[in-house]
Every structure is written in C-alpha cells, then in structure tokens.
Amino acid sequence: MSHGRCGGVGLACVLILCVVGARPALGQQVSSAAVQRRVEALTRAVRARQLEDGSFRDPEAANWPVGHTALAVLGLRTAGVPANDRAVRDGAAYLARTRAEGRHGVYESGLRIMALESVDSARYAAEIEATAGYLIRAQQPSGGWSYGLSGRTDNSNTQFAILGLNSAALCGVTVPEIVWRRAGEYLAVGQNRDGGWGYQHGTASYGSMTAAGVAGLFICDLWLHVQRGRCGIYTDASRVANGLNWLAENFSVAVNPRRDATYKFYYLYALERAGAILARPRFGRHDWYREGAAHLTEQAAAGGGFASGGESDFLRDCFALLFLAKVNAPLLVLKAQWTGDWQPYRYDVRFLVNHVGRLLGQTLDWQIVPLDAPLDELMRAPILYLSGRGAGAWSEQETGRLKEYVEAGGFVLVEAAGGDAAFDRSVRAMMAQCFPEERLVRLPTDHPVYSSHFDIPPEQRPPLEAAMGPCWISVLYAPEGLSCEWDVADFEHVNSRMGVNVVAYVTGLQTLEGKLAEPVYYAPSAQPPQERGGAFTLGQVVHAGNWQPHKVAWRRVLEEVNAKAGLTVYSRPLPIRVDVESPFEAQVLYLTGVDELRLGPEARRALKLYLERGGFLFAEAACGSRRFDESFRALVRQVFPGQDLAELPLGHPLYEGGEPLPRVEYSIGAREQSPDLQRPMLEFLELNGRAALVYSRFDLSSAIDGHPCHRCPSILQPSAGRLALKIILYGLAS
C-alpha cells in the first residue's frame, strides 16, 4: 500500500431507481438554531468524558477505549470543533499511540481511521495506513468482517470496516480492488428478498443493518469505479434501489425499524450515512434529516430522556452528535433531476463537493433535487448543477422554475456531458426560451472564474459561455463538459480545477449556512395599481454609462423600507432623465453605473439645483468600477467647485438609524485592496449643514440583487442590505 496527498474522492451518489411517490411536503419543522443548541449541548456532554491521558471512556463499557475515543473525536470534529482544540488534539494523540487490534479490533480500527482522517490525515498518514492494513488482513474469504482477524462475519462489523477503508482511501491509501469487489459481493449475497439486510446472512431485515448495507454497497461500487478510471461506466444499482425502497417503506426516526428501541441511535447514525452518501434528501415521503433533527431536539427539550436498548448514555450522545452535526452541514451544490438523461455521470458532484470540502477543511454536502422542486428547495444551495446528454425535453414547469430560480438570484452551472451536440442544441434553445433578453457569450480567457482559486494557464482554460450581468454570472455553460474527470476523482486534471474555481467564484469560499437555515431570496410581491399616489419615490438617474446594471436590487430595498419603516414607498425606482425631467419628482435620487459617467450641462445644473434645494442623492460604483468612480468624482468637482467628497464619520446620524452595523462584510476583491476593512466606508458632500450626497465606491447592489461579486470591490450581505436601508431612510428623513 502507499499513501500520498489526500485526494478529494467522496462517497457515491445513487441513481434514482427506486420508486418514490408524489413529492412530499417538508418534514417536521426544526430550526438551524435549535439544532445548533443541541449540538453544543452534546459537544459539552462528550467533552466531559475525556480522561487525563486523552482517551474518552464510557463508564458503562470501559473495555473499548480506542473505539470510544475515536467515536468522540469524530463527533467533535463533525460538530466543527477545531483540530487544534485540546480535547481533539489529545484524543487524536491517544489514538495515534494506541493500537486497535484486540477483541473489538474491526470496530475500533474503522473508527480510528475515520477519526484520525478527520483531524489531520497528513500528520497521521502512517497510522491510517497501518490500520487500513489490519482491516485488509481481517477481511474473511466471504468478503465480510468479524470482530477481529477471524470469526463469524456480520453486517455491523462489515459496515465499520468499509467506512474505515473508505476514509483511508480518501487519504491516498491503496485499498486493493479485490477488497472492494469481495466486500460488495458479500453484501449483495446477504441482501434479503424484501430488499433489506439483517445482522448476519439469513436473518430478518431491520433498519440499522439495511442502512448499513445500502451505504456499504455504494462505497464498494464507488471505489471499483475509481480504480477502473472510466467515467460513465457503472455497475447495476438495482440492489441499492431495493434497499432504498425498504428504508422508505419502513421509515422511522423514533425507533430502529423492526427492532423497536434497540440500538436506535446506532440506527440514526447508519441512516445519516446512507442519506448523505446517496445524497438523498428523502427516503420515500420522509425528509429524513428534518424529521430526525426535530425528533432529537424535541426529545431533548422535553427532558432529554432517550430510550434505546443496548446503548449507553455516551454512545447515544456520540451518535446523536454525529447525526445532528452532519444533518446541518451546508449544501454547496444541488444536482438537478429533469425529464431526460440528467445523470450521465453518477459520481461527479459528490466527488467535487467532497474535494472542495477537504480543500477548505469544512464539511459540505450536496443533494439531488427535481428541477421543478419548490423555489425554497432550490435556493438552499448557492449552485444548481444541470448536466445532460441527448436532446433535452424539459417540461414547461421545469423551464419555468429555472427562470424563476435565476430571477431570484440563483446561479446555474450547465454542462453538455462529453460535449454532447444534441444536448448543446437543447441548452441553447432552452436559454432562448427562458431568457429571451439574454444570450450566452464566450467568456474571455482573462475572466476571474479562470483564476478564482487555481490560476489555470491560458492555453489550458476550457471554453465557457455565460449569461452575464455587468459583474456577475447567472448561468455558466460548459459546452465541452467538465465533469468526466470529477466522476473518476482525477483532481489534477484542468477540468477538476475548473470545477473548484467555479465554486470559488460563486461563493467566494465564504462559510455557508447550515442546510436547515431558511433560504433568503427575493420574491417580488404584487404591485398595487394605486401605490403611486402619495408614495415616497426613489428616482434613478438615466445616463449613457450603463445606468441600470442592477434591475432588482433597489426593488428589494424599497420593499424593506415599506416593511420595516412603515413608510409608503413606490416599489420601483422611477427612471428620470434629469436634463429633461424634473428630479423633484423623487424624494431621493439614485445614481450608479459601470462605465464612464457623462452628464451634459443641463443635467449637471438640474442636479445642483436639486441638491441645493433639499434633495438627496445616493451614488455607488456598480461592480466597484474604477471608470465610474473616477468620472463621478470629477462630476462632483465640476458641479461643486472647491468642494470634495469626504469620509462619512462614524456616529453620523445616517449610521445610527435602523439595525446596528457592528461589522461590515467586504468581498475578497475589497479586502485585497484594503485588508483591514471592517467598518462602513461611505463618503459624502455637505450642503447647508446636511449630507446632501452620499457615495459608495464599493458595490452594494450586486449582493442585494442576489449575485454577490466576490472579486469586485464590494460589500456582501447582510451588510449591503442594512447599509442601503440606512441610506434610503436617511435620505427620506432629510
């Protein structure tokens, strides 16, 4: 065996082969905050079990120190406890110096690898490789595992051996092909006719063993696929589909199905593994992670008593922590399921997301979702991925939802798998139908997406097209494909580096919210026909320099003014040509642009009169544009000779209204220019003792629009929205 740089290979996603009924409603409601509180309580409970030597001990079963320590360390790391935290550091050190080849050698060895891999796979590479060697030697001729090097095999030991070897393989340990093949054959032979698994071959099916069997089969298929190295070539998935049907038909989070309360928390951990590995938000009609999280948080709130035969308090706490912490891992990508060949490559997104998570040291997740799913579901991840092959036959509901998703601020990555010509034609036709005002344009090779994380050499940059705003992309299209290399975990290939760059471009590699957090996006409300009368108005100055780069942002701000300030404000900016139309139609004027700003003499005179007579103007450089910034400053000097913009001081009345701004979130592009930026950096022009003009050289509107520009000098949400609201309220009051 050999080990090398830890790769990005994750666990497998599943072909959706099992029959599922109509799309269910969301599961029991549980908030991200409630889950986090429970995770914190469980983290404290697990920490309390640590001894001076770094080990964690279960007072009800003290003869399993390596397994208990590994389970605790894995739980703490999954919950986000840093690797350099003393409890994690001491626990990992204990595991590194303590062998796990005794009575419970297989259980303990599998957990030992998973724990050390979660802490520092490079530092503990030798220990991980040696422990993987023990598991390989412990595999029985049947392909399964017992408690140690010999004995009768069972599906529980086999589960932990497979999970441990999977983690070892993630770190570059070579697990022989025959190990995966024999393990997969063992699980296939042991599957019952009802689709489930029991503890041993020939025993009745129940929940925890069926979840373990489903996950184990997929891991084996995954590594066999990677070792073959051919994208798009897979084994039959019908056995996994049968297991999924069993879990759907017998679903519960309150008991271990067909075992009642016995080993319930062990079952929940196995259920979470199966759901996460298969990227399934539901088993049948059941939203497993919401229902499970609701059950665990509600029982804790009711007194914390958990009934589960065969499990100690320590084991219950560890398994509950693993379930809840993984349940709330942020969603990075949703893979769209549509009416056609939507999954040419089975493992592409899973491998990419796992690789990005490893690069960031963060647990990230992904899921498969129908393209016509409710908008709330689609907005739970920053990237919607649409792949395909052959002629696309999207339904009207699917194309309608895609249009709605993009207009709400969503980002879509589309690829023609393998450069498929028929799919390419379908994509172009669909784009023309959904977005008649947009068109796909070839990205220049100096576009930031090519260097957002990896700086890809110009001659290697794959051709990409996009539907673009002035400083963002809403739809990115790869006509020659990217994901074949993701599918076989070839992360040295330029297409895999490009995948990481797309993620970095869209997210700025910022920390994402947990998947239970409610998505925040813009859904325009119906505009009452009578609202114009008596309403306050925001006017937007029309000019020749791309005067309306953000079409939605200020509608969002004005709706916030209506909702939070109790003012009647017209819900859309009123376009005003100040050289021929009176700016006094508006109580507040807004001016922005990307290109050089040029206003003629009449427009300049009208603005000067408007500001001198009590009007208020807010201006911003869209995309942080230097051309607009320089030309706007020149305009101010031209209109008000001898006066210049000054920094708006902290404590100014503008900053004091509305929600507090303890810290402003700036983009990477802004922080590259000024690393210490944390406070608002507005500028103003004072007339007659008041701030008549307020200016931001940092873009606010892209983030408010739902398309944050991470590479521009810009302000991110929620800071951008809060600051814009303060500016408008100050302008209306003044």
Amino acid at 580: V
468: left (phi over 0), alpha (psi -120 to 50) or beta: beta
Whole-number Å distance between alpha carbons of 539 and 731 = 12
Nearest of 709, 715, 713, 711 to residue 727 by alpha carbon:
715
Of 137-141, 245-249, 500-504, 518-522, the poorest mean pLDDT is in 518-522
CA separation for the pair 466, 186 (Å, rounded): 47
Whole-number Å distance between alpha carbons of 480 and 495: 10
Q: In the structure encoding, which two tokens stand for residue 392, read together?
A: 């696309």
Q: Which of 379-393, 564-578, 687-701 has the lowest mean pLDDT?
A: 564-578
Q: What's the pLDDT score for residue 26?
A: 39
Crossing angle for the helix pair 65-78 and 105-120, nearest 10 degrees?
A: 30
Residue 530 confidence class, pLDDT cut points 50, 70, 90: very low
pLDDT at 531 over 60: no
The count of other CB atoms within 10 Å of the CB of residue 632 is: 24
Per-residue model confidence as pLDDT tens digits over 213-240:
999 999 999 999 999 999 988 888 899 9
Phi-psi region of 706 (alpha: psi -120 to 50; beta: other; left: phi over 0): left
Q: Count the Cβ atoms, other than its own, within 10 Å of residue 566.
A: 7
Q: Provide mean pLDDT across the span 111-137.
A: 96
Q: Are 15 and 131 in contact, with CB atoms under 8 Å apart?
A: no
Please determine, looking at this structure, whether the domain spanning 538-733 carries the CATH number 3.40.50.12140: yes
Domains of the chain by residue range: 32-328, 336-507, 538-733
Tell me if 153 sits within 8 A of 142, measured CB to CB.
yes
Contacts of 80 (CB under 8 A, 6+ apart): 325, 363
Specify the pLDDT at position 18.
33
- Residue whose entry in the numeric block shows the structure tokens 């800071």: 719
CA–CA gap between residue 242 and residue 194 (Å, rounded): 8
Could you report the per-residue pLDDT of 635-653, keeping only the tens digit for each? 999 999 989 999 999 999 9
Confidence at residue 472, expressed as pLDDT on a 0 to 100 scale: 83
Asked if 32-328 and 538-733 have one fold, the answer is no
C-alpha to C-alpha distances, 25 to 21, 143, 376, 707, nearest whole angstrom: 12, 40, 12, 29
pLDDT value at residue 104 = 78
Give SS3 for 168. helix
Between 138-142, 152-156, 408-412, 512-516, the lowest mean confidence (pLDDT) is in: 512-516
What span, in angstroms and rounded, lies between the C-alpha atoms of 180 and 185?
Answer: 9
Stretch (H or E) spanning 366:
strand 365-370
- Residue 410: count other Cβ atoms within 10 Å of its Cβ: 23
- The CATH number of 32-328 is which of 1.10.150.20, 1.50.10.20, 1.10.3720.10, 3.40.50.300? 1.50.10.20
For the residues 27-53, what does the mean pLDDT come to? 88
Mean of pLDDT values over 440-466? 94
Residue 564, pLDDT score = 77
Is the omega angle on the peptide bond into residue 141 within 30 degrees of 0, that is, cis?
A: no
pLDDT at 24 over 60: no
Give the right CATH number for 336-507 from 3.40.50.12140, 1.20.1560.10, 3.50.50.60, 2.120.10.30: 3.40.50.12140
Residue among 119, 196, 212, 121 nearest 159 (CA):
212
Closest by alpha carbon to 554, among 595, 607, 590?
A: 590
Asked whether residue 304 carries a pLDDT value surpassing 90, the answer given is no
Evaluate if residue 259 carries a pLDDT over 50: yes
Alpha-carbon torsion, ordered 103, 105, 108, 110, to 10 deg? -160
**Span 146-203, pLDDT tens digits:** 999 999 999 999 999 999 999 999 888 999 999 999 999 999 999 999 999 999 999 9
Q: Is the model more confident about 19 or about 624? A: 624
User: What pLDDT, on a 0 to 100 scale, did the predictor assign at position 526?
Assistant: 45
- In Å, the largest CA–CA distance within the chain is 93
Q: pTM for the whole thing?
A: 0.80
Amino acid 1: pLDDT = 41
Percent of the chain having pLDDT more than 70? 93
Looking at residue 400, its pLDDT comes to 92
Report, as an integer, the average pLDDT of 521-541.
Answer: 64
Amino acid letter, residue 74 = L
DSSP 98: S
Residue-level pLDDT at 479: 97
Residue 323: name the closest of 157, 75, 156 by CA: 75
Q: Which residues contact 733 (CB under 8 A, 6 or more apart)?
A: 657
* pLDDT confidence of residue 393: 83
Confidence band, pLDDT 50/70/90 cuts, at residue 15: very low
Amino acid found at 185: E
Q: Tell me the mean pLDDT in the region 727-732.
A: 92
Average pLDDT, the chain: 88
pLDDT at 533 over 60: no
Q: What is the pLDDT of residues 615-630, one digit of tens each?
A: 999 999 999 999 999 9
On whether the CB atoms of residues 701 and 549 are closer than 8 A, the answer is: yes
pLDDT for the residue 130: 96
* 62 pLDDT above the threshold of 50: yes
**What are the structure tokens assigned to 158, written together?**
């086999």
Is residue 310 left, alpha or beta, with left meaning phi > 0 and alpha meaning psi from -120 to 50? left
More confident of the two residues 696 and 33: 696
pLDDT of residue 520: 73
Share above pLDDT 90 across residues of the chain, in percent, rounded to a whole number:
66
* Tens digit of each residue's pLDDT (9 = 90 or more) over 329-355: 889 999 999 988 999 999 999 999 989
